[in-house]
Amino acid sequence: MIVAEQKPLDEIQRMIAPYEKVLILGCGTCMTVCGAGGEREVSLLHSALRLAQARAGSNMHQFSEYTVKRQCDPEFIALLADRVREVDAILSLGCGIGVQVAAEHFPDTPVLPGVNTSFMGAVSELGVWDERCAACGDCRLAETAGICPITRCTKGILNGPCAGTKNGKCEANKDIDCAWILIYERLARLGQLEKMRRYYPPRNFRTIPRPRRLVNLVKADMGEEHG
Amino acid sequence: MAKSLFEEKLNSGKFIVTAEVGPQKGVDCSDMVHHIKLLKDKVDALNVTDHQSSVMRFPSLGGCLLVKELGGEPILQVTCRDRNRLALEADLLFAYSRGICNVLCLTGDSIDVGDHKEAKPVFDLDSVQLLRLIRTLESGKDMGGNDLKGAPQFCIGASVHPAADRIEPQLIKFEKKVAAGAQFFQTQGIYELDSLRRFMQYASQFNVKILAGIILMASVRMAQYMNENVPGVIVPQSVIDELASVEKGKGLQKGIEIAVRTIKAIKEQNLCHGVHIMAVGRESVVPEIIEAAGL
Ligand code: SF4
Ligand code: SF4
């Protein structure tokens, strides 16, 4: 899933400064799970902004709040038309994709990002997220025993560990496992070390001409269900 | 015909000695010029480091040109950290056009250990892919498959870490480097001979030259610092104890003694094909080491 972190309050205050009526818009999917912008965070941010405004002795902004099921889906965003008509700006707590879908849908309303979208990851322990995939477009997990060298090796190298690894950790950060030692150990355990002996050519960055698009006509034809 | 003077020496069977100079941060090259003049006739080739430890400096290519101008034999260190494949190819073409024909292919230290921590890490290629890129250029093609107008010819090397704490994955990579065309290896720092001996028992099956890396320790503090902060470096406790045993101010002398002793033992026991002396800022004592070691 997509993992993000809410921006500092003062940065948010600076962003919304020019606008009187602001809709704080949460997202019910990834941002809810990672705790950056679900219903709960929307309400907390709403209170924090109101409190800050009261302390400053101003009533410059009027806030409203709402959380859609998925901000990255135009079908859900479309349902907001009435609420958006009432405000001067949207403060989105969706990921960067949610912000852009909302901006595209409401061309006359400024949409501001309330979170810093960080990476795609998994939860490792309560409240801790780790990056696991960079969406490189050419998945190599079959060759690397299910451990991603693109995201988990600082250098994203493909032919084995650099000489900087020490105590199984990465040279860039003593707290982080060296991806290539993990890959080596798991391949050895699976009896597949020949996969590490193979030469892997440089990555083909053409698989990711930006922006990327994926067309899945079968699904589109079947009218994939939302919800 | 040999591709360079250095390749000729590698193939001559003599005990090879290389050293390195590190470019300064800034345009005043006087120290580097001094070190090059001091060392160029005492070694078989001089490496010029490429933003070592990810610290921005005068470029290795510029340093190699100086070595050339001053009549020495340069080894261009190239890392993949700062340049994508186009930039790497272009630099290599330029190097060859100026008579710089020895290249040490490195992945490069992580950006995080250096002094430009906010920079974008490139790593478009890794060291193995860089070795192969050079062989591709030699075949008259670039990486896009296009014809070159005039192809370069290089003597290429790489690094290996015989004292790594997990040696098996390093050996797998070493073999990939050999298969990619590496002709010589300059090892990471060697402080005790057992790991080198074990490595050579294995490496002697390959037709490549191994130069043992000798890092000059100037003090016990430097050894401890390197253990903690320099990627991959493992200075054994015995060496740290030895450096700590001398009175203050005598650390460098002790470090020289250790380096000389190590080099002599490597040569006498015929452990590998030569040594690569890394003095990290103390280049001026390298001639003393070379002389004392009887090289
Ligand atoms: S190799 Fe890594 S970055 Fe690429 S698709 Fe697979 S998991 Fe994602
Ligand atoms: S130490 Fe391991 S994870 Fe870190 S850059 Fe080197 S190979 Fe990659």
Residue B263: is its pLDDT beyond 90?
A: yes
Mean pLDDT of B118-122: 96
Q: Are residues B19 and B47 in contact, defined by beta-carbon separation less than 8 angstroms? A: yes
φ and ψ at A68, to 5 degrees? -90, 160
Q: Which of B88, B111, B176 to mutate to test the interface with A (most CBs of A within 10 A)?
A: B176
The pLDDT confidence band at residue B105, using thresholds 50, 70 and 90, is: very high
Residue indicated by tokens 């050519």 = A201
Q: Which residue of A has its CA nearest to B187?
A: A163
- The pLDDT value recorded for residue B232 is 84
Residue A227: is its pLDDT beyond 90?
A: no
What residues form DSSP beta bridges with B209?
Answer: B184
Residue B81: is its pLDDT beyond 80?
A: yes
Contacts by B258-261 with C-beta closer than 8 Å and gap 24+? Answer: B258/B191, B258/B217, B259/B214, B259/B216, B259/B217, B259/B289, B259/B293, B260/B289, B260/B292, B260/B293
Q: Which residues of B touch A199 (CB under 8 A)?
A: 128, 132, 176, 179-180
DSSP summary character for residue B148: P
Angle at B126 between CA B79 and CA A191, to 5 degrees: 145
Residue of B112, B170, B176 with shortest CB distance to A163: B170
- The pLDDT value recorded for residue B168 is 97
Q: Are residues A108 and A100 in contact, defined by beta-carbon separation less than 8 angstroms? A: no
Percentage of chain A beyond pLDDT 70 is 94
ipTM of the complex: 0.94
The separation between CA B294 and the C-alpha centre of its own chain, rounded to angstroms, equals: 22
- Over the stretch A32-56, which tens digit does the pLDDT of each residue have? 999 999 999 999 999 999 999 999 9
Mean pLDDT of A130-152: 95
| SS3 (DSSP) at B170 | helix
Q: Are residues B210 and B177 in contact, defined by beta-carbon separation less than 8 angstroms? A: no
Q: In angstroms, what separates the C-alpha of A201 from chain B's closest C-alpha?
A: 6
Residue B19: is its pLDDT beyond 70?
A: yes
Cα–Cα dist B157/B183, whole Å: 5
Cis peptide before A201 (omega within 30 of 0): no
Mean pLDDT of B237-253: 93
Mean pLDDT of B105-133: 97
Percentage of chain A beyond pLDDT 90 is 85
Residue B51 CA, ligand 2 centroid: distance in Å: 18
Question: What sign does the CA torsion over A154, A157, A162, A168 have?
Answer: positive
Nearest Cα neighbor of B109 from B117, B100, B99 is B117
H-run or E-run covering B157 = strand B155-160
- Over the stretch A144-168, which tens digit does the pLDDT of each residue have? 999 999 999 999 999 999 999 999 9
Residue indicated by tokens 């930006």 = A210
The pLDDT confidence band at residue A140, using thresholds 50, 70 and 90, is: very high
Residue A29: is its pLDDT beyond 70?
A: yes
H-run or E-run covering B275 = strand B274-278
Cα–Cα dist A2/A117, whole Å: 8
- B169/A161 CB distance under 8 A: yes
More confident residue, B149 or A137: B149
Nearest Cα neighbor of B217 from B155, B260, B182 is B260
The pLDDT confidence band at residue A226, using thresholds 50, 70 and 90, is: very low
Nearest Cα neighbor of B9 from B152, B223, B128, B157 is B157
- The pLDDT value recorded for residue B266 is 97
Mean pLDDT of A118-133: 92
| SS3 (DSSP) at B211 | strand
DSSP summary character for residue B10: H
The separation between CA B264 and the C-alpha centre of its own chain, rounded to angstroms, equals: 20
Query: What b/e sequence results for A177-203 when a residue is b if at least 16 CB atoms lie within 10 Å of its CB, and e otherwise?
Result: bbbbbbbbbebeeeeeeeebeeebebb
Residue A134 CA, ligand 1 centroid: distance in Å: 6
- The pLDDT value recorded for residue A219 is 60
Mean pLDDT of B117-138: 97
Sequence-distant (6+) residues with CB within 8 A of A6 are A36, A37, A41, A45, A93, A114, A115, A116
Residue A208: is its pLDDT beyond 90?
A: no
Residue A151 CA, ligand 1 centroid: distance in Å: 7
Q: Are residues B180 and B152 in contact, defined by beta-carbon separation less than 8 angstroms? A: no
The separation between CA B179 and the C-alpha centre of its own chain, rounded to angstroms, equals: 20
Please report how the helices B193-203 and B167-179 are oriented relative to each other, as an axis angle in degrees rounded to 10. 40
Other beta carbons less than 10 A from residue B260's beta carbon: 19
- B172/A196 CB distance under 8 A: yes
Residue A193: is its pLDDT beyond 90?
A: yes
| Number of the ligand closest to the Cα of A168 | 2
Residue A223: is its pLDDT beyond 60?
A: no
- B173/A160 CB distance under 8 A: yes
Cα–Cα dist A5/A166, whole Å: 31
Residue B172: is its pLDDT beyond 80?
A: yes
CA distances to B15, B146, B258, B280 from B48, in Å: 21, 30, 24, 11
Cα–Cα dist B130/A98, whole Å: 40
Measured from the CB, is residue A208 less than 6 Å from ligand 1?
no
Mean pLDDT score of chain B, rounded to an integer?
A: 96
DSSP summary character for residue B283: G
Cα–Cα dist B75/B6, whole Å: 9
- The pLDDT value recorded for residue A122 is 92
What HEC string does chain A produce?
Answer: CEEEEECCHHHHHHHHCCCCEEEEEEECCHHHHCCCCCHHHHHHHHHHHHHHHHHCCCCCCEEEEEEECCCCCHHHHHCCHHHHHCCCEEEECCCHHHHHHHHHHCCCCCEEECEEEEEEEEEEECCEEEEEECCCCCCCCCCCCCCCHHHHCCCCCCCCCCCCCECCEECCEEEEECHHHHHHHHHHHCCCCHHHHCCCCCCCHHHCCCCCCCCCHHHHHCCCCCC
- Over the stretch A52-97, which tens digit does the pLDDT of each residue have? 999 999 889 999 999 999 999 999 999 999 999 999 999 999 999 9
- The pLDDT value recorded for residue A127 is 87
